[in-house]
Amino acid sequence: MPIEPRVAVVIPARYASTRLPGKPLADIHGRPMIEWVVRRAKEAAVGEVLVATDDERVARAVEGFGGRAMMTSPSHASGTDRVAEVAAELDCDVVINVQGDEPLLASADIRRLVEPFRGEGAPAVVTLMTPIRDLEQMFDTNVTKVVTDREGRALYFSKAPIPYDRAAWPRGVGGGKASGGDISGARKHLGIYAYSREFLMQVPALPVTRLEAVEKLEQLRFLEYGYTVRVLETETDSPGVDSAEDLERVRRLIGESGGKHVQP
């Protein structure tokens, strides 16, 4: 019989976004963006849902719509550190880190992350990937790509196009956009993670690694220290809101769907 892990969903939410200040409170059809994210997480029904923030304005907004917020240190370098501070106070086995700027995240994908933690031999980290569907996305440096081994374990993450089709893109990124090429094996990484609580408590103490510093991708730290990152595939994309243009797109998609999850 599978062992049912105790799960908590923690949503890190910074007010001071460089490209979109006040992002968690951005209005989407009469609700702050963070409320849409909390609603997706609650629909997953995997465990308690909390927002981790360093800003009183975000905390008040969360409490205003009936959510639970916990204040964290303003000095955290990453969302994972913020999640770890909150998780240290929780009695759970698995912590799911849902980004606070992904109001289109599918609740079913949150539920899927719990499955690998049932039974023996649970991983340290589980995350998601989805097929890359066009060359524009393949060469978009705002899109993180991932390659895995045959068992679904992450080999590498990068903003660059990986795997790289040398026959089709011999002149590099700039020359390859209009050259066709095989993207059938290309996968976009979705920035949602499920951690064993035991592993998560170790992350803040791990020094930043060389590849992490170069690529500006925190998950490379896990690989460089030898931890296994399981990657599950989903057909559902979940673009984050990083700019005013992204926000307008999300408003349009949610408006067209009547508030239900939509496939971007």
What pLDDT is attached to residue 261? 52
Please state whether beta strands 47-53 and 125-131 pair in parallel, antiparallel, or not at all (unpaired): unpaired
Structure token pair of residue 30: 């009469």
Q: Is 97 within 8 Å of 111 (Cβ atoms)?
A: no
Q: How many CB atoms lie within 10 A of CB 208?
A: 13
Tell me, yes or no, whether 223 lies in a domain. yes
Q: Which domain holds residue 19?
A: 7-257
Please indicate, yes or no, if residue 54 is contained in any of the structural domains: yes
What's at 177, amino acid-wise?
K
pLDDT, tens only, 80-102 = 999 999 999 999 999 999 999 99
In a domain, residue 264? The reply is no
Low-confidence ranges of the chain (pLDDT < 70): 1-2, 171-179, 258-264
pLDDT number for residue 158 = 98
Asked whether 53 and 14 are in contact (CB, 8 A), the reply is yes
Is 262 a member of any domain? no
Position 16 in a domain: yes
Q: At 251, is the secondary structure helix, strand, or coil?
A: helix
2 in a structural domain: no
How far apart (Å, rounded) are the C-alpha atoms in residues 50 and 40? 12
The predicted model scores a pTM of: 0.91
Residue pointed to by tokens 């799911």 = 96
C-alpha span between 57 and 44 (Å, rounded): 26
Q: Is the dihedral of CA 10, 110, 132, 211 positive or negative?
A: positive
Residue 263 placed within a domain: no
Give the CATH number for residue 25: 3.90.550.10
242: left (phi over 0), alpha (psi -120 to 50) or beta: alpha
Count of structural domains, the chain: 1
257 sits in which H/E element:
helix 244-257
Tokens representing 167?
Answer: 């026959």
Residue 115 lies in a domain: yes
